[in-house]
């Protein structure tokens, strides 16, 4: 909202849900910024509808990721990141982006990784803190796809991941049965480390096991992350719209 050309509202003007924590923003003339120390991120198109059927906005998705950042960041730090960008929302077109765009700010971490399949170095970005995450989302990225290994050395992943997608007509029992069959084998591969499972979508079940010598903790169970990044609309629907 403007009075005399000056912004006077806050993020609540651009969200449709009562979030546990509101994304803190500051006015800058005719736009809003998120700040972390001396770094500033200019936010754009906050009222743009990303989920047409539900009416959820870009302000909602930014605030959502701000609220889950403490859970997600341990899964993202120091990992090259592929982003699924959907600048026109879930009903529009999308593309996957690996390389950092030319306008990437200097404060965004970069992780160049040589791709053997593509025969070149990919200039990945990484997400190490909340502002990094918000920059990715502000670019229209709804999904985060971190690589399984940290840093530029991608030959030593820290977890193995299986995405179990039952064939059409398999029914609700087939996938849990397959999980029981695969899980001991995966755990044996990872020195008998327990696996973790969690539903990611209507049909698939991700199965993850760490590949180091320590049992998985909440910070290393990728299914928690997979659920968060693949089903934000489900999370939205679990909340009551703001009155």
pLDDT tens digits, 199-212: 455 555 566 666 55
What confidence tens digit (pLDDT) does each residue in 127-186 have? 999 999 999 999 999 999 999 899 988 888 887 766 666 666 666 555 555 555 555 555
pLDDT at 236 over 50: no
Average pLDDT of the chain, as a whole number: 75
pLDDT band at 241 (very low <50, low <70, confident <90, very high): very low
E strands, the chain, where?
2-3, 6-7, 26-28, 31-36, 39-43, 49-51, 56-57, 81-85, 95-97, 110-115, 120-125, 141-146, 159-164, 195-197, 205-210
What confidence tens digit (pLDDT) does each residue in 9-48 have? 578 889 999 999 999 998 887 889 999 989 999 999 999 9
- The per-residue pLDDT for 233 is 35
Question: Does 199 fall in a domain?
Answer: yes
The more confidently predicted of residues 165 and 235 is 165
Domains of the chain: total: 1
- The per-residue pLDDT for 188 is 52
Q: How far is CA 13 from CA 25, 216, 239, in A?
A: 12, 40, 18
Question: Does 228 fall in a domain?
Answer: yes
- Range with the poorest average pLDDT among 8-17, 27-36, 62-71, 92-101: 8-17
Question: Does 122 fall in a domain?
Answer: no
- The per-residue pLDDT for 198 is 53
pLDDT band at 89 (very low <50, low <70, confident <90, very high): very high
With CA atoms as reference, report the closest residue to 50 among 137, 127, 132: 137
For 73, phi and psi rounded to 5 degrees? -55, -40
pLDDT at 229 over 60: no
pLDDT at 72 over 80: yes
Question: Does 125 fall in a domain?
Answer: no
With CA atoms as reference, report the closest residue to 220 among 176, 172, 157: 157
Please give the model's pTM, rounded to 2 decimal places. Answer: 0.73
pLDDT at 7 over 50: no
Question: Does 129 fall in a domain?
Answer: no
Question: Does 195 fall in a domain?
Answer: yes
Question: Does 118 fall in a domain?
Answer: no
Q: What range defines the domain where residue 218 resides?
A: 159-243
Question: Does 229 fall in a domain?
Answer: yes
């Amino acid at each position: 909202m403007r009075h005399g050309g000056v912004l006077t509202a806050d993020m609540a003007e651009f969200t449709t849900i009562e979030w546990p924590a509101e994304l803190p923003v500051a006015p800058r003339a005719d736009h809003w910024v998120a700040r972390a120390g001396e770094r500033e991120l200019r936010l754009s198109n906050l009222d743009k509808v990303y989920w047409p059927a539900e009416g959820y906005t870009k302000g909602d998705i930014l605030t959502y990721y701000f609220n889950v950042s403490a859970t997600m960041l341990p899964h993202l730090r120091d990992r090259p990141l592929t982003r699924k960008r959907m600048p026109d929302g879930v009903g529009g077109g999308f593309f996957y982006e690996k390389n950092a765009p030319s306008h990437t700010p200097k404060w965004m971490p970069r992780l160049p990784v040589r791709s053997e399949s593509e025969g070149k170095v990919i200039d990945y970005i990484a997400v190490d803190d909340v502002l990094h995450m918000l920059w990715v989302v502000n670019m229209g990225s709804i999904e985060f796809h971190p690589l399984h290994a940290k840093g530029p050395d991608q030959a030593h992943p820290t977890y193995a991941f299986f995405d179990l997608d039952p064939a059409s007509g398999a029914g609700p029992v087939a996938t849990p049965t397959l999980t029981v069959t695969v899980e001991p084998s995966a755990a044996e591969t990872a020195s008998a480390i327990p696996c973790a499972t969690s539903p990611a979508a209507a049909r698939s079940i991700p199965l993850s096991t760490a590949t180091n010598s320590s049992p998985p903790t909440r910070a290393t169970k990728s299914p928690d992350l997979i659920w968060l990044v693949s089903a934000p609309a489900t999370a939205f629907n679990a909340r009551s719209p703001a009155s």
